[in-house]
Amino acid sequence: MALAKSTEDGSALARDVAAFLQSLRGERRAALNTCLAYERDLAQWLGFAEQKAHGPRTTAEVDLLFLRSFLGHILKQSKPSTVARKVAAIRAFFRYAERHGLASKNPAAMLALPRGKRRLPSVLNVDTAAELMTTPDDETLAGIRDRAVVEVLYGSGLRVSELTNANVGDFDLQHASVRVLGKGSKERSVPLGSKAVASLHSYLAEARPGLSATGEAGQAMFVSARGKRLGVRAVERAVKKYGTLCGRADLVPHGLRHTCATHMLEGGADLRAIQEMLGHASLATTQQYTHVSMDHILRVYDNAHPLARESEKAEK
């Protein structure tokens, strides 16, 4: 990796980046995926600097013009969302650099992000969501487990990684809640719906003992057919399988999280409560569901309101 090579070669800029990443992992306890993404993005940035004959070799030498030239380079081969993530990594590094006296100013603060097309989350309607919950075959161990998986994903809006990392002891079925470790290693307690609790009781009594017979799953709540902790990819395959059977081959676990939030909002839940339940650091992230909900309301209006129907007749 370019980052490792630059550090070995003694680049002061690379050493500062390495120190920032170490701080990210240690002091700030950022999520593993965030650390890995920042490391990849900053390695690409350092590689770009090394290829330039007069590229910066220290953090203090980096200016806005150089950062803009890097953005121009990656815009040719990356989506706007990818570029935005790389800019976020560079900005985070320069905030660190300013705090530690490695740079007198933050050139990344003036970077303009590319405007990508806003993509609203895809959600299931209530009837399809209900159908999905009954699709797994409850005559098999895997089916009983999968029923519990989709019930928890839809009923509690967990991230798929939060679900697969959860242990048996994290679930309090008596009080209908689960304790999860979210992004940034932030712990939160999430409520479980009554149907999710019932499915979990069935899974623990009828399926998990058989699936975990090898003993390799340890304390993992959800266990694979091989007796190991169920992985993210396995959950993605299962959700896609059941989604396809319900006519939604595009369904992914995160779609169930979106569906959970949207249905709660449509049912009258407070936006702040949804934010706490989903573990969003910013309310702005949760507010995306207000747009999804409004789309739904407009469709209902067009199909049900007398004035909307009269308008359609007039147009015909």
Residue 139 backbone phi and psi in degrees, to 5? -95, -5
| pLDDT value, residue 29 | 72
Q: How many domains, in total, are found in the chain?
A: 2
Mean pLDDT of 114-124: 66
The verdict on 73 and 135 lying in the same domain is no
The verdict on 103 and 199 lying in the same domain is no
The verdict on 232 and 96 lying in the same domain is no
Please say if the pLDDT value at position 117 is more than 70: no
Domain boundaries, position 29: 2-110
Whose CA is closest to 13, among 225, 290, 21?
21
| pLDDT value, residue 42 | 95
Residue 79 backbone phi and psi in degrees, to 5? -75, 155
| pLDDT value, residue 24 | 87
Catalytic residue IDs: 159, 183, 254, 257, 280, 289
What percent of the chain is modeled with pLDDT above 70? 85
User: Encoding tokens for residue 312?
Assistant: 């359609």
Q: For 160-171, what is each residue's pLDDT tens digit?
A: 999 999 999 999
pTM of the prediction? 0.64
Please say if the pLDDT value at position 273 is more than 70: yes
Please say if the pLDDT value at position 280 is more than 80: yes
The verdict on 145 and 274 lying in the same domain is yes
Distance between CA atoms of residues 258 and 272, nearest Å: 15
Name which residue leads in pLDDT, 47 or 316: 47
Q: For 179-213, what is each residue's pLDDT tens digit?
A: 998 877 788 999 998 999 999 999 999 999 999 98
Distance between CA atoms of residues 217 and 230, nearest Å: 8
CA distances from 151 to 50, 186, 192, 216 (A): 50, 23, 9, 25
User: Encoding tokens for residue 163?
Assistant: 């679900």
The verdict on 139 and 266 lying in the same domain is yes
The verdict on 72 and 188 lying in the same domain is no
> Are 78 and 40 contacting, i.e. CB atoms less than 8 angstroms apart?
no
Residue 44: which CATH number?
A: 1.10.150.130
Distance between CA atoms of residues 150 and 57, nearest Å: 50
The verdict on 99 and 171 lying in the same domain is no
pLDDT class for 272, splitting at 50, 70, 90?
confident
Mean pLDDT of 278-296: 70
Please say if the pLDDT value at position 118 is more than 70: no
Domain boundary among 110, 137, 169: 110
The verdict on 72 and 17 lying in the same domain is yes
pLDDT class for 291, splitting at 50, 70, 90?
low
Domain boundary among 110, 141, 163: 110
Q: For the chain, what is the total number of helices (H) and then of strands (E)? A: 16, 3
The verdict on 135 and 190 lying in the same domain is yes
The verdict on 90 and 223 lying in the same domain is no
Domain boundary among 83, 110, 137: 110
The verdict on 136 and 190 lying in the same domain is yes
The verdict on 211 and 102 lying in the same domain is no
In a domain, 120, yes or no: no
Whose CA is closest to 274, among 292, 291, 258?
258
In a domain, 119, yes or no: no
In a domain, 29, yes or no: yes
In a domain, 306, yes or no: no
